[in-house]
Amino acid sequence: MNWPQLLVTVVTLGGIFGVVTLALNLQYARGGMINFGIVAYFAIGAYVYAIVTQRGPIGLDQYRFGFDWPWWSGLILAGIAALLFAALTGWPTLRLRGEYLALTTFAFAEVLHSLLLNERRIGNGTVGLANVDRPFSDWGPIEEKYVFAAAAALLLVLTLLAFRRLLSSPYGRALDAIRDDETAALAVGKAAERLRREVFLISAIPVGVAGAVYAMYTTLAQPSLFTAEITFFVWIALVLGGERSLYGVVLGTLGLVLFEEVVRAWPFETVRSAQIAASAEHVLTGLVFIAVLRYQPFQRTVSRLRVAP
């Protein structure tokens, strides 16, 4: 097993998905909002980046727009687009709470997925937008994969610091107050609705940017990449890492990605062994999840170190 390569992949994907898990943590653990459609904001970021940086359609392409703008403009617009999409979806959905909100956000994500799948003029339908612009290809002596890993790690650290700062401010304490006892918070003049909506919007921005980095990494924006599996993946990471700690969710995500990659990095030299592995992977994953939920290693690590928040 090639451990350096494994490490690079875990840092890159762990960084990208870690950002999404952090955003989910902010929405759920602090804002009290169950978002089962977070993949939609991730997908919006990826598609906007691809459309902005992609050249115009040629030959058999069926998408209508490709602006061929530089990568950084795609990255910025991905964050803005996710924010706008959060505003659009947040307005009707955030009036709901609990499981109603969960179902509505899930429905929104499915609608977006269906739209991307069937409306070929946006993102080429099922074919998607392939060979998306990768900006880190000519960085001199440093190999592209290391630059990517560093970029993903940087995005994760920036998001972590920003959220940490936000939560340790009076704004964060107001959120905690609303989560703990909304009636009491309202009684002392905290605008619960407005604060929740703001958290929903703020947390969508890094998710959009992470989607853009994901599109760069896979060089692909395709509906099959943005299914409910992503939503459940980050929810599992959140549960594994412990919802009350930002560091815990980062560890949970890195642990989950590491597990997936270790399973995949195992070289199978015969067809039969690869077939058996493909069948056994889900069983093994389930067993590991049960063990992690039973013993909660990530939450224990964080609580042992007594890291705040």
Partner 1 sequence: MGTNKRKWMRLFAVLFALSLVGAACGDDDSADQQDQDAEETASQPSEDAAGTDSETADETSPPTTEAAERGEVTVGVLVPLTGELGEFGAIVADAIEFGVSEINAAGGTRCGDIRTVVADTGGDAETGIREATNMIESEGAVAILGPTSGVMVPLVDLAHREEVVIMSPYAGTITLNELGGDFVYRTVSSDLGDGAASGLWLSSRGYESVAFLIQNEESTISPAEVARDEVNAAGIKITDFIVYNPGQPSYQAELTTVLANDPDAIFLAGGQESGVTVIKEAVAGGFEGEWLFTADLAVPEIFDAVGADLINDKAFVEFADVDPSLPEFISFEERYDKAGDPFAPNSFDMVTLVALALESAGGCDGAAINGTIRGVADSDGTKVSTFAEGRDVLAAGGTINYEGASGPLVFDASGTVSGAYTIQQAINGEWVNVEFYPASTFDR
Bridge partner list, 221: 129
Buried b (16+ CB within 10 A) or exposed e, 163-181: bbebbeeeebebbebbbee
- Least Cβ distance, residue 118 to partner 1 (angstroms): 7
- Least Cβ distance, residue 3 to partner 1 (angstroms): 3
- Least Cβ distance, residue 248 to partner 1 (angstroms): 12
State which residue, 134 or 190, has the beta carbon closest to partner 1: 134
State which residue, 88 or 114, has the beta carbon closest to partner 1: 114
Interface ranges with partner 1 (CB under 8 A): 1-7, 9, 58-60, 114, 117-118, 125-128, 130-131, 134, 137, 144-145, 218-220, 222, 224-225, 247, 264-265, 267-271, 273-275, 277-279, 301, 305-308
State which residue, 99 or 281, has the beta carbon closest to partner 1: 281
DSSP annotation of 56: P
Element containing residue 26 per DSSP (H, E): none
- Least Cβ distance, residue 130 to partner 1 (angstroms): 5
Measured distance CA(270)–CA(21) in Å, rounded: 36
State which residue, 164 or 190, has the beta carbon closest to partner 1: 164
What does the block give as tokens for 53? 């940086």
Measured distance CA(35)–CA(39) in Å, rounded: 9
Burial (Cβ within 10 Å: 0-12, 13-18, ≥19) of residue 136: middle
C-alpha distance from residue 238 to each of 107, 149, 184, 192, 231 (Å): 21, 22, 28, 24, 11
State which residue, 201 or 263, has the beta carbon closest to partner 1: 263
State which residue, 73 or 219, has the beta carbon closest to partner 1: 219
State which residue, 126 or 169, has the beta carbon closest to partner 1: 126
- Least Cβ distance, residue 178 to partner 1 (angstroms): 25
Amino acid at 305: L
CA 91 to chain centre: 21
State which residue, 170 or 267, has the beta carbon closest to partner 1: 267
Coil vs helix vs strand at 87: helix
Measured distance CA(79)–CA(75) in Å, rounded: 7
- Least Cβ distance, residue 44 to partner 1 (angstroms): 17
Coil vs helix vs strand at 220: strand
Element containing residue 221 per DSSP (H, E): strand 220-221
- Least Cβ distance, residue 225 to partner 1 (angstroms): 5
- Least Cβ distance, residue 186 to partner 1 (angstroms): 32
